[in-house]
Amino acid sequence: MAEAFSGGCGCGAIRFVCSAQPLAIFNCHCRDCQKASGAPFISAMAVPSAAVTITGQPKYHSVRSDSGNTMSRGFCAECGSSLFARISGRADAIGINLTSLDDPNRYHPTMDIWTSSALGWVHMDPSLHKLAKGPPPH
Ligand SMILES: [Zn+2]
Ligand SMILES: [Zn+2]
C-alpha cells in the first residue's frame, strides 16, 4: 500500500504510517479533548483503522464518552505526546492528532465540533462548518 502520511510522538518511541486519506478532519472542542491534550482543542483526523500501522507501544486511557461509547486515547508513555483516539462503536476508524504528523500542515481541519464547550478566548475560523456537539468522533 502506498504511504499517504506518517508521524509519531515527540521522542520517537512511537511511529505510524497511514496508507489512506482522511475520512474527516476536525477541531474538537469537547472537554475531554481539552483535558487529554492540555490545549484548548484537538485537531485530528479520522482514518480507516486498517490503513494505519503503528510501531511502538502507545498507552491507552479509556473514558466513557457522552454517547455511551468507550473512548480510548493513545499516548506515548515516555514523552506524553497525545496521538490516537479509538471509540468502541467505531472499530473501523481511528483518530490521529494532526500535530503528530511529520508534515502537520498537510491536512487542514474542515469543521469545528463540540463548539458548545469551546473556550471563550479561542478564535475559530468562521469559514469552517460548526457543530455544537459531535460527531465525529464521539
Ligand atoms: Zn514519545
Ligand atoms: Zn473531543
Does residue 137 lie in a domain region?
A: no
Q: For position 22, which CATH number holds? A: 3.90.1590.10
68: containing domain: 5-119+127-131
pLDDT at 138 over 50: no
CA–centroid distance, residue 55 to ligand 2 (Å): 24
Question: CA-CA distance, 56 to 87, in Å (whole number)?
Answer: 20
pLDDT digits (tens, 9 = 90+) for 15-62: 999 999 999 999 999 999 999 999 999 999 999 999 999 999 999 999
Does residue 31 lie in a domain region?
A: yes
pLDDT of residue 125: 97
C-alpha grid cell for residue 100?
503528530
pLDDT digits (tens, 9 = 90+) for 69-94: 899 999 999 999 999 999 998 889 99
CA–centroid distance, residue 130 to ligand 1 (Å): 32
CA–centroid distance, residue 31 to ligand 2 (Å): 7
Which of 8, 135, 10, 13 minimizes the C-alpha distance to 84?
8
Query: For the chain, how many structural domains are there in total?
Result: 1
Cβ atoms of residues 9 and 81 within 8 Å: yes
**In the predicted model, what is the mean pLDDT of the chain?**
93
Does residue 136 lie in a domain region?
A: no
